[in-house]
Amino acid sequence: MKPASTTSKQFYDIAGFLNVFGCVDRTKITIIAPRVNEHVYVCRKGFHMLNVQGIRDAKLHFIGVVAKNPGSSHDAFIWYDCSVYSYMAQRATNDNGWLLDDSKYPLSPFLMTSVLNATSSADYCYNKRHTQDQK
């Protein structure tokens, strides 16, 4: 991973968040049905796919990718099974920085998520900054 100071400053410049070094997101990649264990690659929408997770820095460069899970894998399973999660969970009390993610995962000592049911102006402001694009 890149030194936290450079990446952290870039995230701060974009959205005002301190000590952030990456954003986690997932995407679905459509594939041709495999011959072995075909059924596990079928997603809930009924087509064959890989469920891919990526972590990007402030310049949108990938700093971590997990591209091994079939379409039936739940996003949370992929997150909890990846090496970045294990690394961060073991060091959560050492204040090694934050990752940003949407509201699909619970808030943790190293993962800041958007507010699912925003009700206050502070929640709306936080969510807007949380999804802020590069300027």
Q: Are 47 and 71 in contact (CB under 8 A)?
A: yes
Give pLDDT tens digits for 52-89.
Answer: 999 999 999 999 999 999 999 988 889 899 998 888 88
Torsional sign, CA 42, 43, 48, 51? negative
> For residue 2, what pLDDT is reported?
44
> For residue 93, what pLDDT is reported?
62
Torsional sign, CA 55, 61, 67, 72? positive
> For residue 75, what pLDDT is reported?
86
Determine the Cα–Cα distance for residues 40 and 43; give it in Å rounded to an integer: 8
3-class SS shares of the chain: helix, strand, coil, % to 5: 35, 30, 40
Determine the Cα–Cα distance for residues 110 and 107; give it in Å rounded to an integer: 8
- Both tokens assigned to 28: 């679905």
> For residue 29, what pLDDT is reported?
95
Secondary element (H or E) of residue 79: helix 75-81
Of the candidates 112, 103, 129, 1, the one whose C-alpha atom is nearest the C-alpha of residue 55 is 1
Determine the Cα–Cα distance for residues 23 and 60; give it in Å rounded to an integer: 9
pLDDT lower than 50: segments of the chain: 1-3
